[in-house]
C-alpha cells in the first residue's frame, strides 16, 4: 500500500475527519483549495455532493465537481439568481447577436442579388413584380426593401408595392429566416 499524503483533502479537513485512501473528494478537492469545498458545502451540503459523486462514473466526476464549484461560487455571489443570472445575460446577448447577424446577412444578400442581377434579371424582376401585383398585395415595411422598391419602380412603372418575397426566394437568401 502506498502511503497517502499526510495532509487530508480540503473536504476532509473541512469536515474534520480522516481522509481515507479511497476518499471520493480527494481527487477533486486538493488541500490547497479550501474555498472550493467550503463553497460547495455551503450551497449543496457535503452528503448531497457525496451522493452525487457516487452516482457518477469516475470519468465524469471532475466535470461534475467543477460545475458544482462554479454554481456554488455564483450562488454565493448572487443569492437570488446564481449562475442563472449570468446564463440569461449571455443568452440575451446571444439572441441579440443572432438578430444582428441575421440583419447583416439580409443586407448582404440584397447587395449580392443586385450585383448578379443583369438586364435579364431586371426584366424577370419586373415580370415577377407585375405578376405579384396582379395576384397578391404585400405591404411589408422593412428598410431592406428600399433597393427592391427602386427596381420595382423602374421596371414596373412606379407601383407602390414591395416585392421582397419574389426577389429573395427561400433557400437562396440565408438571412431571411425568422428567429
Backbone angles phi, psi at 24, to 5 degrees: -70, -20
Give CA–CA dist 120/87, Å, rounded.
Answer: 51
53 touches Zn ion (CB under 5 A): no
19 touches Zn ion (CB under 5 A): yes
69 touches Zn ion (CB under 5 A): no
CB 93 → Zn ion: shortest distance, Å? 40
Q: Which segment (3-11, 94-102, 133-141, 151-159) binds Zn ion by CB under 5 A?
A: 3-11
For Zn ion, the closer of residues 12 and 49 by Cβ is 12
23 touches Zn ion (CB under 5 A): yes
The SS3 call for residue 164 is: helix
The residue with cell 447577436 is 97
24 touches Zn ion (CB under 5 A): no
Question: Measuring CA to CA, how many Å separate 77 from each of 7, 32, 80, 85?
Answer: 29, 22, 9, 11
Grid coordinates of 159: 407601383
Site residues (vs Zn ion, CB under 5 A) = 9, 12, 19, 23, 25-26
Amino acid at each position: 500500500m502506498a502511503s497517502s499524503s499526510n495532509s487530508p483533502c480540503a473536504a476532509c479537513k473541512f469536515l474534520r475527519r480522516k481522509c481515507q485512501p479511497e476518499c471520493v473528494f480527494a481527487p477533486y478537492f486538493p488541500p490547497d483549495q479550501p474555498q472550493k469545498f467550503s463553497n460547495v458545502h455551503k450551497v449543496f451540503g457535503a452528503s448531497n455532493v457525496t451522493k452525487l459523486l457516487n452516482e457518477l462514473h469516475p470519468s465524469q466526476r471532475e466535470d461534475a465537481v467543477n460545475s458544482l464549484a462554479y454554481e456554488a461560487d455564483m450562488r454565493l455571489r448572487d443569492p437570488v439568481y446564481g449562475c442563472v443570472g449570468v446564463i440569461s445575460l449571455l443568452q440575451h446577448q446571444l439572441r441579440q447577436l443572432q438578430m444582428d447577424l441575421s440583419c447583416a446577412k439580409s443586407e448582404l444578400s440584397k447587395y449580392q442579388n443586385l450585383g448578379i442581377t443583369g438586364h435579364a434579371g431586371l426584366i424577370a424582376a419586373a415580370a415577377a413584380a407585375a405578376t405579384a401585383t396582379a395576384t397578391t398585395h404585400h405591404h411589408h415595411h422593412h428598410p431592406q426593401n428600399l433597393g427592391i422598391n427602386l427596381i420595382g419602380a423602374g421596371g414596373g412603372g412606379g407601383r407602390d408595392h414591395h416585392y421582397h418575397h419574389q426577389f429573395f426566394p427561400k433557400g437562396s437568401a440565408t438571412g431571411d429566416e425568422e428567429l
